[in-house]
A and B are shown apart, each in its own frame.
Chain A
Amino acid sequence: MLLSPYPTTGERIRVTLLWLWCGLVMLFLLVPILIPVPLSFNSGAFFIFPLEGLSTRWYEVVLGTQRWQSAIGNSLIVAFGTTLIATTLGTLTAIALSDEKFPGRRIIMPLLLSPLIVPVVITAVGSYLFYARVGLASTYAGIILAHTALASPFVVVTVGASLTGFDRNLMRAAAISGARPLTSFFRVMLPLILPGVLSGAAFAFVTSFDEVVVVQFLASASQRTMPLEMFIGLREKLSPAITAAATLMMALSIILLVVANLLARRGRKASNR
């Protein structure tokens, strides 16, 4: 479609140049995220190609030493806690907002999205100031609360998208048939919007699992998460263990987000039928 049926020389040159430029841009996009993968299997301690030899020793460091293990554990605690709260409350809010008569929808939506817009350092410093006062700094609950603020917009947006085509008459039909509101939610609405909810949950999980700035301010030494351990490692000394940790984190986020996007697409398609 780029070339017309009878291309002129000028057109051919332009399209070739476009392809060349785009090829370089693709390299720029992909090489940096692919490079840590082979380096993480390097048996040497330097970031130099060719690799000195293949080994999984850096993965053994990340998965086998106490420091990294507790970081992985902390990351999972925080991410699961955040996912649970953000998904539950975000889904309820999305259902409420999907009602066109909901009062103040146009004010609430930007407010809900604001955690994505406010620079994360401001969120982190503010949380540190307030949470320290109410005794939530250096607690899992504090980190989970702060992460929930960052993660819930994703849930509200994805569940909201899967609700746009949801036929509210189904709920009325269930009510007329004698179902109580909770029953009709669990047996009629939830199954239909489930792809959207699951995809929101995956977004929430990744948001929390990848987050480092808030954790940096709120966590004590015993609550260091994997990204924080990486951040500290990058500042102090560059060890190949970081490439292994980065590869693991990248793999987890990409898998979860692929799943999330497939589910979100399915949710939208199902609800648009």
Chain B
Amino acid sequence: MSALQPSELDRPTLARDRSAADADLKSVSAALRRAEFGDRLRSLALAAPLLVLLALSFGIPIVLLLSRAVYDPTIADALPKTTKALAGWNGQGLPGDDTLAALATDLKDTKAKGTAYELAKSLNARLPGARSQVLKTVRKLESADGQAALDALKSVPFWSAPATWPAIRSGTHSLTSFYLLSALDLRWNADGGIERVPPEQAIFIQVFLRTFLVAASVTLATLILGFPLAYLIANVPKGLAAILIVAVLLPFWTSILVRTAAWTVLLQKFGLVNDFLLFIGIVSDRLDLMYSRIGLIIAMTHIQLPFTLLPIYSVMRTIPPSQMKAAYSLGARPFTAFRRIYIPQVFPGVMAGCLLTFILCLGYYITPALIGGASDQLISNFIANYVNVELNWEMAAALSFILLVFTLALFGIFARILGLDRLKLV
């Protein structure tokens, strides 16, 4: 290693042959390199079990989920003959009778393969209303063969509508941008360009905006509540500061679910918050705080407050009070000193706390599910709903994809500007 300088090794070898000394030196450094390599291997071997476990239990699941957003073989699998026949179609007008016949055969086969419902659902995602049409056609085809089947197919106007075939063709490519675009309320139009979906189908942009709005409101509320408290804790005598910090940590250590449960009790129509508001006379009638935006923001603010406060406090603790006194003695008015001396120094802490809270709010699930109303569900709730209720994995995956991109981008900014060290809260 670097501690062994060549000159030091040379000294005892003066009497010896120069080339033998060189050989010694080489074998020593080779041995050191081997030892160092062995050390690295051992370190890697120590870290490997957890890394492998995380890759299996966390990495692969997420990659698999995200891949569902862009990979959907349902239509290609259910309609193999149609897929082949469509390869020669130029996309203009309606495809020929041979394609229709292939479709009739494929649709008949879906009954036997049990893929009819999957196909209907997948096509319905691209063409609203397609589900019933597909299932109706499959029923009609049950007792028809050859020309009769073709006629039966043609008797359903859905299959000669202009929008149907481009949708089928886009579905026969297993790799698809359809779901990712849908998650942003976009779609391909007939000319191959990207357009917004009609307003009555557009939901996701609104959900993303709502998620950002709730996250921003909660971040702002935690800052307004947390900044003065952090300042107080940083500037009172040590003993009192320790008590105040415990008061911040107690809720921080209580699980999100338990705190959400506490808020559902408090926010009831006949709960304590309403009792209190009536008592001090702010309201004359009980408010509906449960299943409301305001209730959701109150509960989320309570849960996130320590996440904003602790990074701010840890920076404030390092600012010596003598600086402000120096500013006063130089004639600065309190507000000027605060703005020009204090704020620039606490800014990294404020950024860290606010970014952390904002990032965590984007992924909120439990609190909106329990306290928010139907119009307060955030993006995470939609993801869960697509999995649990709609059984539409592709859409859940696409929404996850976009949520993850936002989260990681913000986290990248956090790590880049503020460093990962600010993340530790324990």
Contact with A along B274-317 (1 / 0, CB 8 A): 01000000000000000000000000001001100000000000
Query: Would you give the shortest CB distance from B253 to chain A, in whole angstroms?
Result: 4
Say yes or no: is B251 at the interface (Cβ < 8 Å to chain A): yes
Query: Would you give the shortest CB distance from B33 to chain A, in whole angstroms?
Result: 12
Say yes or no: is B4 at the interface (Cβ < 8 Å to chain A): no
A128 to B57, CA, bound (A): 10
A217 to B393, CA, bound (A): 14
Which of A110, A145, A243 is B53 in contact with, Cβ under 8 Å? A145
A230 to B264, CA, bound (A): 12
Query: Would you list which residues of chain B between 40 and 62 have a CB under 8 Å from chain A?
Result: 40, 43-47, 49-51, 53-54, 56-58, 60-62
Query: Would you give the shortest CB distance from A35 to chain B, in whole angstroms?
Result: 6
Is the pair B262, A125 in contact by a Cβ cutoff of 8 Å?
Answer: no
Chain A binding site: helix, strand, loop or mixed by DSSP? Answer: helix
Query: Would you give the shortest CB distance from B410 to chain A, in whole angstroms?
Result: 9
| Given A101-B36, A213-B366, A227-B255, A119 and B404 contact (CB-CB distance below 8 Å) | yes
Residues of A within 8 A of B396 (CB): 125
Which of A96, A127, A227 is B61 in contact with, Cβ under 8 Å? A127
Say yes or no: is B226 at the interface (Cβ < 8 Å to chain A): yes
Residues of B within 8 A of A47 (CB): 265, 268, 270-272
Is the pair A123, B61 in contact by a Cβ cutoff of 8 Å?
Answer: yes
Is the pair A122, B400 in contact by a Cβ cutoff of 8 Å?
Answer: yes
Q: How many of chain B's residues touch chain A, expressed as a range?
A: 35 or more
Is the pair A230, B334 in contact by a Cβ cutoff of 8 Å?
Answer: no
| Given A32-B262, A118-B407, A213 and B254 contact (CB-CB distance below 8 Å) | no
Which of A10, A28, A148, A253 is B254 in contact with, Cβ under 8 Å? A253
Residues of A within 8 A of B229 (CB): 21-22, 25-26
Say yes or no: is B426 at the interface (Cβ < 8 Å to chain A): yes
Is the pair A32, B46 in contact by a Cβ cutoff of 8 Å?
Answer: no
Say yes or no: is B164 at the interface (Cβ < 8 Å to chain A): no
Query: Would you list which residues of chain B between 380 and 408 have a CB under 8 Å from chain A?
Result: 380, 383-384, 387, 393, 396, 400, 403-404, 407-408
A213 to B367, CA, bound (A): 11
Which of A10, A21, A115, A119 is B365 in contact with, Cβ under 8 Å? A119
Residues of B within 8 A of A114 (CB): 58
Which of A39, A96, A149 is B44 in contact with, Cβ under 8 Å? A96
Q: Which of B70-78, B194-202, B231-239 lies at the interface?
A: B231-239
A sample of 8 inter-chain contacts (CB < 8 A) reads A32-B266, A35-B265, A47-B271, A92-B49, A97-B43, A102-B43, A126-B400, A149-B53
Q: A residues near B, CB below 8 A?
A: 1-2, 4, 10-11, 14, 18-19, 21-22, 25-26, 28-33, 35-36, 39, 46-49, 85, 89-90, 92-93, 95-97, 99, 101-103, 108-131, 145-146, 148-149, 152, 154, 156-158, 161, 203, 206, 210, 212-213, 217, 227, 230-231, 234-235, 238, 242-243, 246, 249-250, 253-254, 257-258, 260-261, 264
| Supplied contacts A120-B365, A227-B255, A261-B426, 7 more A-B pairs, CB within 8 Å | A1-B321, A95-B46, A122-B383, A122-B404, A213-B365, A246-B262, A250-B254
